[in-house]
Chain A
């Protein structure tokens, strides 16, 4: 056995040499040397009896799997607009300068690399970065200085001051879910007392709707999964919280994990599933160890495992499955593909996961907050639950508030709260716009602050980013456009090409080279992307931009040139290299302005 093979062996054994676990195997294998080296690639492929190109398909798809060395310290600055507003770009430049590095390039000594990554879910305590997947929050110039010192000294991460990695909950307003943690086991015991059918009836009466954003009736989904034909069933919790500006799942996972796991167990009770997965986004790796500890405690307390709560035939356990930096995996069928060890490309629906999900079996996928709500319903009963919120949107919604406000953090409200109320509570005077629902959400302006957070008015998965009047909407538009261009999985042409065209056009307009031509073209692309993209990513990619172009039209138009077109690059400079090689500088060797 070579050195690599013997290092890989325990990892492969842990996952029973099952190619379905390929993504997990590669994540663990990457920790051996910081990247998927050709040796690891060859050894893993031969041990799993798969083509090496299957490994390539993952390393190329997942942003946090590397097919080139990235250094002992892999620094990734969170690139959400809220990080930018808090000064992340200048801090990154400072760090690059101090370490004499170029963005995305490994230092000559192989020590460190610095780059951007999509929103890391620390918007209430940004600017943030990830160092080897560990989040460092509340960055300042001084903190960057200290981090550079530790990197130069080669200090291992466990010797860095713990306060660097402190992640605060910032619970500003608590209601049903964010109040004092429930007594562990209460929800399961209450549901067992009702029985599986009894609890499903209760869930239906509560009118709980999915909290991932789409608002599908939860009881209907659970029933469909239960009634779908199949030898086994699976319960999956979508904790791939990648929507820029959203971080409520992070807090639920950090401080209310037992409630979540109880909610998953309730889903198992109803559907008859024996196996559950928590799909945790790679950026939340720091939560894995405490979550595993909670799972272990719950097994000891007979809240997971065999005959849960002493109930015959109620066997259920949960595995944690890590993501590796792919926003699209938050789409439920992409998430299932990823669970199966493949690139997370959305499947064609129907069939829906409730009938054909993980490995083709009926699979229930719900958001973290949905499961927590299910547990709350078991505890307090449907009637008390449905008394909160509105008729069509019962219960509470957790908002992740960030941006230009005095008290960023989590605010849990009964559904129906107005935008204006949230802004008052978080301390945000002089607001120009609020981005509700993340980069894939809507941009609301003061005239719309009377609107309510509810499925029947302004639905949201939870992001609530506040922009002061002084902010330039084009900066937010550019940030979102580049986010989608980066996160498009590349499967369908409208999204792959469209998101890149959009990013290019907004850059051109922002740089002062755009004309009405580009502005109109953006509107055309808006329609094409929405109508013809394969999944929700492409369909929603221009939602916010469309809002901004309509509501902040002058902010775009004042940058437009009055001529009908100009290139966004210097044509004469494009001839420079050929001039140099030919040794020419005559008039014909130059391109003037087009008149």
Chain B
């Protein structure tokens, strides 16, 4: 009987910044391969575990979504500080994606339009300190921290995520085959 202790499990953390959770849905889309994944990995901070902060020594951090507000920046920084590999997952994290459509407008004008047109003419732009302030523009995550890998797609397919993760964990430079990022 093999008495040597099992190898340490790979620790994975995930987060959604300004995104739609579509990339997380794709992660669940690896279906029964989830069982294979939990054999070798465990989830740390993630919307799937509801763990609020990163534990120590996370191996892989998967970031979905773009930087839209101050809280997104704090989350991203926490991930960068604790993850060996930080991965931008999907169009929003990589390019700003759909949220970046607001970049052609001034954020002040947007806030005034949305909250300032009350019938009594009074501005109701939310000012509670609990609410994170919006950044002037929506930024891709590599504008603010170093990013190690990028997985394109909106969202990347479950197959693409699986291929990426198995490559990375297996020590191979992750590569996606053409059909895995060809969408039309």
Contact = CB atoms under 8 A, between A and B. Distances in A.
Interface of A: 515, 517, 564-565, 567-569, 571, 573-584, 586, 588-589, 591, 594
A578 B107 contact: yes
A574 B129 contact: no
B106 interface: yes
24 contacts: A515-B146, A564-B146, A565-B146, A567-B143, A571-B73, A571-B135, A571-B144, A573-B136, A574-B136, A577-B107, A577-B108, A578-B134, A578-B136, A580-B108, A581-B112, A581-B123, A581-B125, A582-B126, A583-B125, A583-B127, A589-B133, A591-B73, A594-B77, A594-B145
Contacts of B132: 588
B136 A575 contact: yes
Chain B interface size, under 10 / 10 to 19 / 20 to 34 / 35 or more: 20 to 34
B137 interface: yes
Contacts of A580: 108
Contacts of A571: 73, 135, 144
B107 A589 contact: no
A584 B134 CA distance: 12
B27 interface: no
Given A574-B136, A594-B77, A581 B111 contact: yes
Nearest to A590: B70
Contacts of B146: 515, 517, 564-565
Contact of B133 (A564, A569, A575): A575
A571 B126 CA distance: 21
A566 to B, nearest CB: 9
A499 B94 CA distance: 17
Nearest to B71: A588
Contacts of A569: 143
Contacts of A573: 136
A565 B107 CA distance: 27
Contact of A578 (B80, B111, B130): B111
A581 B108 CA distance: 6
Contacts of A591: 70, 73
A520 to B, nearest CB: 11
Query: Which of A569, A571, A578, A589 has the most CB atoms of chain B within a 10 A radius of its CB?
Result: A578
Interface string B66-94: 00001001000100100000000000000
A501 to B, nearest CB: 11
A574 B127 CA distance: 17
Contact of A582 (B106, B125, B136, B137): B125
Nearest to A571: B73
Contacts of A568: 143
Contact of B135 (A517, A565, A574, A586): A574
A569 B108 CA distance: 19
Nearest to B115: A581
A577 B136 contact: yes
